[in-house]
A and B are shown apart, each in its own frame.
Chain A
Amino acid sequence: DSGVTQTPKHLITATGQRVTLRCSPRSGDLSVYWYQQSLDQGLQFLIQYYNGEERAKGNILERFSAQQFPDLHSELNLSSLELGDSALYFCASSDPTDTQYFGPGTRLTVL
């Protein structure tokens, strides 16, 4: 158990819909990262937040957005969902040694 929690574990929805994925970092970690894992693209960095501020952006679609709240939990919002958005979405948090600890992931299926 990494200490990073993610909800829900599984999400099944239809094309065009909007979903919210939630992540709580390890106690004391200020940074939160979001990654997407799909069969064709592999593991890809989406976005990083540090203490509520966006720190870095990767291959995140405009239909996706994220935020980190004052209690440091983070949410990833995915809208106008397409079949190709089906993937595992991971959240990670990092400690002062830069080690990133990953949550169990949310498996999103878009039908």
Chain B
Amino acid sequence: SQQGEEDPQALSIQEGENATMNCSYKTSINNLQWYRQNSGRGLVHLILIRSNEREKHSGRLRVTLDTSKKSSSLLITASRAADTASYFCATDQGGKLIFGQGTELSVKP
């Protein structure tokens, strides 16, 4: 069974808007990683945030981590049609990644 829960399950926005996805988990973690998956294809690593970090940026991506609430969020700013994909959070528990069920993001041109 998966540990993480992602919210929302699906998100539809217009190009140029920001997209925010949330992830909650249940146990202690070493780090949390976000991935993107285009339909049925491989997982692309986006960003890793360690348990002692609160925020990280990478290009148009901003990730926050609140270990007291056991939650993380991924913000994609100025979204593009090419950002349409499924986004997964994964908590690192001793090396193995435990994935959430993902958020399906649709960005309409």
Interface residues of A (CB under 8 A from B): 2, 31, 33, 35, 42-45, 48, 55-56, 58, 88, 90, 92, 94, 97-105, 107
Max count, chain A CB within 10 A of own CB: residue among B35, B42, B94: B42
Contact call A2/B96, Cβ cutoff below 8 A: no
The docked-state distance in angstroms from the alpha carbon of A27 to that of B42 is 19
Given A42-B99, A56-B95, are A102 and B48 also a contact pair (CB < 8 Å)?
no
Main secondary structure of the interface of B (DSSP, over half): strand
Partner of B2, one of A44, A48, A104: A44
The docked-state distance in angstroms from the alpha carbon of A33 to that of B96 is 8
- 18 pairs across A/B with beta carbons < 8 Å? A2-B45, A33-B97, A42-B101, A43-B43, A45-B97, A45-B98, A48-B95, A56-B94, A58-B96, A94-B95, A97-B48, A98-B30, A98-B92, A98-B95, A103-B42, A104-B41, A104-B42, A105-B42
Q: Which residue of B lies closest to A46 (CB)?
A: B96
Contact call B42/A99, Cβ cutoff below 8 A: no
Contact call B2/A42, Cβ cutoff below 8 A: yes
Chain B residues within 8 Å of chain A by Cβ, number: 23
Partner of A102, one of B43, B94, B102: B43
Q: Which residue of A lies closest to B2 (CB)?
A: A42
Given A33-B97, A42-B2, A43-B88, are A100 and B33 also a contact pair (CB < 8 Å)?
yes
Contact call A56/B96, Cβ cutoff below 8 A: yes
Q: Which residue of B lies closest to A107 (CB)?
A: B40
B86 CB, min distance to chain A CBs, angstroms = 10
Interface residues of B in 40-74 (CB under 8 A from A): 40-45, 48
A79 CB, min distance to chain B CBs, angstroms = 23
Determine the chain B residues whose CB is within 8 A of the CB of A105 once the complex forms: 41-42
Query: Is the CB of B31 closer than 8 A to any CB of chain A?
Result: yes
The docked-state distance in angstroms from the alpha carbon of A89 to that of B99 is 14
